[in-house]
Chain A
Amino acid sequence: MKKAIAFKSVKKNYGKLKAVNGITLSIKEGEFFGLLGPNGAGKSTLINMLAGLVRPTSGSISAMGFDVVKDYQNARHSLGIVPQELVFDPFFNLREMLRFQAGYFGKGKSNDAWVDEVIERLDLKAKASTNMRMLSGGMKRRALIAQALVHRPPVIVLDEPTAGVDVELRQKLWTFIKELNTEGHTIVLTTHYLEEAEALCNRVAMLRAGKVVALDTTTNLLKKFAAKNLKLRLSLKNKFKLSSIIKGINFSVDGDFYTFELKKIDDIGRIISALNKVSIEILDMETVDQDLENIFLKLTGNEIKYE
């Protein structure tokens, strides 16, 4: 399958800071790809270089085979970028804004029907003639998505599309973005919500300090890093130092709940017999699947351990 986006040895330095430090990564046509990482990992710099807002220090980036610097006009025709910030032009209403945006891409009057369709699909019809200033935050967010779609780009890049959005709208946006992917659009999503990446993305790259620390399908990542966890509710009358009685097994604490990271199934026996030895009562027990959040924390070096 053809590459929709390709980053080749891309670096971006700001003085001594290496914001992106040699990323090579390609995204296939039709993929739903997630870009994860903590603040400062280089996600936005990477997206901004793809969009042409920032120029790489070295390396090359292409969108649908077009170099984003040398052949920027064709590359930008291929991309629909949804910026992270809720920006808008206060002089115009929604429909005007969308028509202008389409016009910048060389789309004339014949595209107006598509603009109206985008407005309708994003549930913005009632506000199409409203000045952008008067729209609520959620509507402005949807307007930004609409702006990225007006020129019918094959690749859509969403930089934290559901940041600050309520649960209902988040679900609606997820459904809409999934539909776009089903219709054949390649989707690239950066997000802080790991739940979002887990629910939507086929493949995920995790970034840390300007480098890719993991790149795989979401399912493989979950398999690779996650044996099951054992979640116990314990009655700890005395303040035991659990790490001294259960050695070599990481765990985290949330109230009465202790989640042990299992490397192999035998670990369950070891944990239970160790607890029995010191007469700690097990009030409840369940095994849970590892989620992307734990893997993310592990890979980005932010894992929280309790002892």
Chain B
Amino acid sequence: MNNIRNQLIGTWTLLKKELLRFWRVAFQTVAAPVITGILYLLIFSHVLDGRLEVYEGVPYMAFLIPGLIMMSLLQNSFSNSSSSLIQAKVMGNIVFLLLTPLSYIQLFFSFLIASIARGIFVGFCIYLIATLYIDLPIKHPLIVFLFAFFGGGLMGAFGIVAGVWSQRFDQMAAFGNFVIMPLSMLSGVFYSIHSLPVSWQKVSQLNPFFYMIDGFRYGFFGQSDVSPYFSLIIVILFFIVLSYGTIRMLKSGYKLRG
């Protein structure tokens, strides 16, 4: 009854539904974050371009773009899985998924891949628009992809945890406002951590967002605050640990099955 072909169809169906879900409201899920990213870019680059050079030979506007792309990618990957789950729970239609033979692994991968896809799509749109203003070649495309994939995956998994844990929309908003937003703003999107006092540099190094943004930026310029390989290992480790925890949580039925 439940052979591999059936399982693949089940996983693909949920993935397709999750992709369509955000695409149906692309004005909110894609256009809005792209516009926010571009506004950050225009305002900060207008104020600081020419006054600040973080990396030698890299204009501030160019320095800013990879950080903004990654910040939007991470926030949107988180939003995709978390908002889908909290809406399904509040509306009650989560039951349609829980009644099916889909395993917790299938649920995890469908939500995760849809989250990565939305994050990368939003990031790519920001990149495309940004290249209208400035020439921005990518020096190490594979590094860019790996950070985008694992960063998006990490936040997609975190979104699943938040979506399963939250019972109400305000609890979900608290994740965004008090966890995701401060961690992304204090991750070196707008500055190099070398410009910070030593104590704050150490604090920044405890922030996983810092490694995702720093490594992603390396892919564009070949320059970074810490080794991109060290950053990649940190990001992959976080991804593995969080994914394992998320899968365990889904398997236990925590807050989903009574």
What residues of B have a CB within 8 angstroms of the CB of A87 in the complex?
Answer: 91-93, 95-96
Give which listed residue, A48, A76, A83, A108, contacts B100 with CB less than 8 A: A76
Distance of B1 from chain A, by nearest CB (Å): 5
Contact B20 A108 (CB under 8 A): no
Contact A76 B9 (CB under 8 A): no
Residue of B nearest to A74 (CB): B1
Q: Which of A88-96, A218-226, A256-264, A266-274 contacts B (4 or more CB under 8 A)?
A: A88-96
What residues of A have a CB within 8 angstroms of the CB of B6 in the complex?
Answer: 105-107
Q: Which of B10-18, B115-123, B233-241 contacts A (4 or more CB under 8 A)?
A: B10-18
Q: How many residues belonging to A are interface residues under a CB distance threshold of 8 Å? A: 31
Q: Does B253 belong to the interface (CB within 8 Å)?
A: yes
Distance of A50 from chain B, by nearest CB (Å): 10
B97-115 at interface with A (beta carbon < 8 Å):
97-103
Contact B10 A52 (CB under 8 A): no
Contact B99 A52 (CB under 8 A): yes
Q: Does B2 belong to the interface (CB within 8 Å)?
A: yes
Q: Does A81 belong to the interface (CB within 8 Å)?
A: yes
Contact B10 A89 (CB under 8 A): no
A87-B92, A100-B13 given; A105·B257 CB < 8 A: no
Q: Does B258 belong to the interface (CB within 8 Å)?
A: yes
Contact B257 A108 (CB under 8 A): no
Contact B7 A106 (CB under 8 A): yes
Distance of B215 from chain A, by nearest CB (Å): 35
Contact A73 B103 (CB under 8 A): yes
Contact A101 B96 (CB under 8 A): yes
Distance of B134 from chain A, by nearest CB (Å): 37
Residue of A nearest to B92 (CB): A87
Distance of B83 from chain A, by nearest CB (Å): 11
Contact A106 B5 (CB under 8 A): yes
A134-186 at interface with B (beta carbon < 8 Å):
147
Task: Report how far A51 CA is from B6 CA in the complex, Å.
Answer: 20
A77-B101, A87-B92 given; A100·B2 CB < 8 A: no
A85-B92, A90-B91 given; A103·B99 CB < 8 A: no
Distance of B98 from chain A, by nearest CB (Å): 6
Residue of B nearest to A151 (CB): B100
What residues of A have a CB within 8 angstroms of the CB of B257 in the complex?
Answer: 52-55
Contact A147 B96 (CB under 8 A): yes
Distance of A287 from chain B, by nearest CB (Å): 47
Q: How many residues belonging to B are interface residues under a CB distance threshold of 8 Å? A: 33
Distance of B242 from chain A, by nearest CB (Å): 25
Distance of A158 from chain B, by nearest CB (Å): 13
Give which listed residue, A90, A96, A107, contacts B9 with CB less than 8 A: A107
What residues of A have a CB within 8 angstroms of the CB of B51 in the complex?
Answer: none
A48-102 at interface with B (beta carbon < 8 Å):
48, 51-55, 72-74, 76-77, 79, 81, 83, 85, 87-92, 96, 100-101
Contact B91 A54 (CB under 8 A): no
Task: Report how far A217 CA is from B13 CA in the complex, Å.
Answer: 42
What residues of B have a CB within 8 angstroms of the CB of A72 in the complex?
Answer: 101
Task: Report how far A55 CA is from B251 CA in the complex, Å.
Answer: 13
What residues of A have a CB within 8 angstroms of the CB of B1 in the complex?
Answer: 73-74, 77
Indicate the member of B16, B25, B93, B103 with the most A CB atoms within 10 Å. Answer: B93
Besides A79-B99, A100-B16, A103-B16, 4 more A-B contacts (Cβ < 8 Å) are A51-B98, A83-B99, A103-B9, A105-B101
Q: Taking beta carbons and an 8 Å cutoff, which residues of B are in contact with A?
A: 1-3, 5-7, 9-10, 12-14, 16-17, 20-21, 24-25, 88, 91-93, 95-103, 253, 257-258
Q: Taking beta carbons and an 8 Å cutoff, which residues of A are in contact with B?
A: 48, 51-55, 72-74, 76-77, 79, 81, 83, 85, 87-92, 96, 100-101, 103-108, 147
- List 21 A-B pairs, Cβ < 8 Å: A51-B99, A52-B99, A53-B257, A74-B2, A76-B99, A76-B101, A77-B1, A77-B2, A89-B93, A90-B91, A91-B21, A100-B16, A100-B17, A101-B96, A104-B14, A104-B101, A105-B101, A106-B2, A106-B6, A106-B7, A106-B10
